[in-house]
Each structure stands twice: as C-alpha cells, then as structure tokens.
Structure 1
Amino acid sequence: MLMSQAGRTLIKGALFMVAALALSACSMFRGDDAPAGQSRADDNRDRGGVSIFGGGNNDSSASQAGIGVNSFLWRASLDTLNFMPLASADPFGGVIITDWYSDPTTPNERFKATVYILDTRLRADALNVSIFRQQQQSGAWVDATVDPATEIQIENAILTRARQLRLGQLPQ
C-alpha cells in the first residue's frame, strides 16, 4: 500500500521533532552551578575520574591551560631537541615529531626523533622517545639500526631538563 505525500511529510516531521527533543535533552545533564568557561572534560576530574584532555590530577603545576600533557615534559622535549627541525608538534596529543637532521660532520647519516608524552604527571614512564636513523648508500637513504642506549640517553636528558624546569618554578 502506498503512503500519501501528506503521510510521509507527517512522519518526517514527527521524526524531526523526536530528534530535536533528544538533542536538546543532552544539555539538561549539565547543572547551572558550573562556573562559566568550565569544560565538560573537567567534570570527571571533580568526581575523581580521568579527564580526557589532561589535568586528571589536581596538581596545577602538572598541566597548563591549553596543553593536554605535562607542561614540563613538553617544554623539556622541545628544549632538548631544539637542534633538530620540527616537523609536527601536538600539545594535546603529546606528540613531537622532528624532521630529518644531518650533522654537518657526518653528512651521510641522518636522524629523526618522535617524542610521546603519555601522562600529565612528571614521571619517567610518562615519556617515550623513538629515534630513527638512515645512512646514505649509493645515493639513496637506507634505514639503519639505532643503539637503544641513544633513546634512553635522550629520554634522560629530557627528564633532567623537565626536573630543572619544575624546580625553577618552585617558590623560594
């Protein structure tokens, strides 16, 4: 049986109204007592949960507004790798990717680094560094192995710099 044009329009209108009511009901779960400008991402922090944008702990020095990871690790990573050209930096995801860097004394070898900041707290396990190395052979760049100690040395340099930054901001 075919439905008339008026019947289809009525059903579409009813579905539209149900969808509009369902979407408008989403805003009623937020209380009016929240301070202006507070993000819903902060709701979990108030209940002891985990915030998806960092700042899950209530240590105000662990993260700054506008950055989703530990600010000391972020700044220390940028400071430590400042000699390498920066390809990408995502402060919300906590990823820093450098472009290829070749030391002028060894032009047939180049390095690239990726730093992952995994937590809002200043901890050794909140940092992961990956180093990539290539050597030039017959005019083409070929992947080469990286000594695992190199990645550990860079992680330690970043952690040392992060501690220095943290101690520099303590009240005297």
Structure 2
Amino acid sequence: MIALAQLRRPAILALAIAATASLAACGGRERPKADLAAAQITTIGVNSYLWRAALETVSFAPLLQADSNGGVIVTDWYANPSNPGERVKVTVTILDSDLRADALRVAASRQVSQGGGWVDAPVQAATVQKLEDIILTKARELRRHTLN
C-alpha cells in the first residue's frame, strides 16, 4: 500500500504542473470586444431595450409581476387620482430578443365603478397602440444613446 501511494505522488505532481502550465496560456492580453448595440448580449431572456422601455412606460402603476426571462410585465390595477371611478391593468409581453415592433404585445384591461363594485369596460384599441408606440420609441432612444 505504501509503495502504491509513493508511485502516485509523482504522477499527481506532474499532472498539477501540466494543468498550471496550460492555464497560464489562457491569460491573453486582448479581450473580445462586445457590440453594445447587440440586444443578445444581456443577462435577460428578451430584448433589453424593449424590457427597460416597457418597465419605464408602465411605472405609473404598481407591478404584480416582472419576469425578464419570459418577457412578461403585469401591473396591478391603477386608478388615476383625477378619475377614481376608473382603473386599468396592463400586461406587456416581449416576444423576441430583437428590437422589432412585432416583438412587443401590450394588452390592457379597464374597469369602471358601478354600484359599489368594479365592472369590466372596453379599452380603446388606440390606447393599446399608443402604449406600444411609447415603448418602441423609448426602446429606440435607449439603443441610440447606447450607440453614441
């Protein structure tokens, strides 16, 4: 048993020296340059510009859910203090890692107060379209500022 352990020591020492030498070769001076405009270089699962713009756009309402990997933002009900008889809830879904108009989907729900309770009411399509436009415009601005 002792002889076997003594034979292993030089082999382990040689292996450790070889591993150290191979790791030393990995420390090159040049680092790869990242393209700051590329949306794929991110720690989230969706386009980072759309994500940040969407969070900023719906920041008027309290958040219920914000899943950056799945690209879903859900607000809680929000009632404008100047119109407390109406409230809205917004869901933003980011569908892609590219900054494109079809990578964004906004849905809104609206309720009005009637008889002491909340009743569903229609949301104008123009309202949802306006929210999408605001998010896309902010996302493009964020991208433009990153490139400059």
TM class by shorter chain equals 0.7 to 0.9
Aligned to 1:5: none
- Write the letter of the residue equivalent to 2:62: P
Aligned to 2:135: 158
| Larger RCO (CA under 8 A, 6+ residues apart) | 2
DSSP-derived class of the 1:122 partner: coil
Aligned to 1:147: 124
1:70 is the counterpart of 2:77? no
1:88 is the counterpart of 2:79? no
Post-superposition, which runs of at least 4 consecutive aligned residues in structure 1 deviate over 3 A?
none
DSSP-derived class of the 1:153 partner: helix
Runs of 5+ consecutive residues of structure 1 not aligned to the other structure: 1-57
Aligned length: 114
- Write the letter of the residue equivalent to 2:134: A
- Aligned equivalents of 1:65 and 1:119: distance in 2? 13
Identity %: 54
TM-score by length of 1: 0.64
- Write the letter of the residue equivalent to 2:73: I
TM-score by length of 2: 0.74
Q: Equivalent of 2:38, from 40, 53, 61?
A: 61
Runs of 5+ consecutive residues of structure 2 not aligned to the other structure: 1-34
1:130 is the counterpart of 2:101? no
1:113 is the counterpart of 2:64? no
Change (3 A) 1:105 1:60: closer
Aligned to 1:168: 145
- Write the letter of the residue equivalent to 2:94: I
Structure number, greater radius of gyration:
2
Cα RMSD for the two superposed structures: 1.5
